[in-house]
Amino acid sequence: MAAEGLSDSSKEMLLQGNALFEQKKFAEAQALYQAFIDKYPSLYKARLNVANCLMELQEYDKAIGEYQKVLDGLNAEAADKKDPKLTAQVFSGIGDASMRQNKFKEAEQYFKKSIDIDPADHALAFNVAEIMMQAGNANEAIRYYEMAIRIKPDWPKSYLKL
Q: What is the pLDDT of residues 37-62, one digit of tens each?
A: 999 988 899 999 999 999 999 999 99
Spell out the residues 6+ positions from residue 14 whose beta carbon is closer than 8 angstroms to its own.
Answer: 32, 33, 36, 46, 49
The answer to whether the CB of 96 falls within 8 A of the CB of 107 is yes
How does pLDDT run across 72-127, given as a tens digit for each residue? 999 888 777 778 889 999 998 999 899 889 898 898 899 889 999 988 889 889 98
Q: How far apart are the first and last CA of the chain?
A: 38
Q: What is the pTM of this model?
A: 0.81
Report how far residue 32's alpha carbon sits from residue 21's, in angstroms, rounded to the nearest whole number: 10
Phi, psi of 64 (to 5 degrees): -60, -40
CB-CB neighbours of 16 under 10 Å: 15
Report how far residue 94's alpha carbon sits from residue 112's, in angstroms, rounded to the nearest whole number: 11
Q: What is residue 121's predicted lDDT score, i.e. its pLDDT?
A: 87
